[in-house]
Homo-oligomer: A and B are copies of this chain.
Amino acid sequence: SLQSVIAEWEELETEFKELEENHKNYVSKVDEVKNLQAKCVNGIAHQRYRMKQVADNLKKYGKSNDQEIASLYQTIEERKTQFREFEDVLPHKNGIYLSIVLGQVNVSLLSKKDKYLYKQDYEKFKLIVSTISMVLAFCLLFFISSRYLDAAYHFLLVWYYCTLTIRESILIVNGSRIKGWWVAHHFVSTVCTGVLLIWPDGVTYRLFRQQFMIFSVYLSFVQVLQFYYQSGCLYRLRALGERHNMDITVEGFQSWMWKGLSFILPFLFGGYIFQFYNAYTLYHLAFHPQSELQVPVVCFMFFVLASGNAWTTLLVIREKLKS
């Protein structure tokens, strides 16, 4: 009846008062947080600056064998680590690429959990697109032969690499230590697939098409393998990070990582050799009488990709062996 409706409304009214209170509280807390944020960011910058001065002066005046000075140096190092930890939960400025594509919107993830979820999401995204790409390349290789569908496939790749550069820039803003080369790799890949896209349907295109499709199937397959390695690492690192988790130790992580790496590395280097081989094939095609400008360009890009990948992966292994 009408009476009960009005009673219901009044109940809602009191709940609304509470909500209003919460909201007001929220707005003022957001302000407080912003102020504290600014204080922390400025404070860290100031401390860093002065600490550098102190360290410089120490170098000038101190003797390195002095007990007191040695411990001071150590404290400075510790403090640096602390600042990095502080910054984990502070917002970060976007780099130039993100500023251009997204503008000055804040993409910071302010908790470990959010960071973990974001990274997981990123790996899943790569897995899904890689799987789609594998299936498509397989179909284009064996069943369908149309320059238009090839173009659609190239378009997908351009979009995929472009998206990866954005997501990786977000990861880097949030403190991931992805090597610069992998990001550069995706830029180069974007351009490379872009050039493939506009390669007209001539003799040289047809001569290279089959090899490229086989390469794409293989590459997608390797990326699926990479997913298992990366998400395994991610899962174990997260477990390590949780203090009360006793299932996993640093040694356990290390041994798992090496097992994974030794499984995946032959496939990776297989991929790099394939890229060199693509460059080699294209090099010869470039002398074909009906060669287009696209041929030497793609040749050069495959060469850059292969060299950069091989070089960076070797560096990563050396780093890992050292530590």
A51 touches B104 (CB 8 A): no
Beta-carbon nearest neighbor of A129 in chain B? B100
CB neighbours (8 Å) of A110 from chain B are 30
Q: How many residues of A contact B (CB 8 A)?
A: 72
Q: Does A224 contact B (CB under 8 A)?
A: no
**Closest Cβ of chain B: how far from A102's Cβ, in Å?**
7
Q: Does A246 contact B (CB under 8 A)?
A: no
CB neighbours (8 Å) of A8 from chain B are 50, 53-54, 57
Q: A25-B36, A26-B37, A36-B26 are in contact. Are A58 and B170 (CB under 8 A)?
A: no
Query: Which one, A160-168, A177-185, A277-285, A308-316, is touching chain B?
Result: A160-168
**Closest Cβ of chain B: how far from A51's Cβ, in Å?**
7
CB neighbours (8 Å) of A39 from chain B are 19, 22, 26
**Closest Cβ of chain B: how far from A122's Cβ, in Å?**
6
CB neighbours (8 Å) of A107 from chain B are 102, 105-107
CB neighbours (8 Å) of A144 from chain B are none
Q: Does A125 contact B (CB under 8 A)?
A: yes
Q: Does A27 contact B (CB under 8 A)?
A: yes
B201 touches A72 (CB 8 A): no
Q: Does A136 contact B (CB under 8 A)?
A: no
A109 touches B102 (CB 8 A): no
CB neighbours (8 Å) of A37 from chain B are 26
A12 touches B47 (CB 8 A): yes
Beta-carbon nearest neighbor of A104 in chain B? B121
CB neighbours (8 Å) of A266 from chain B are none
Q: A25-B36, A32-B29, A36-B29 are in contact. Are A163 and B197 (CB under 8 A)?
A: no
Q: Does A2 contact B (CB under 8 A)?
A: yes
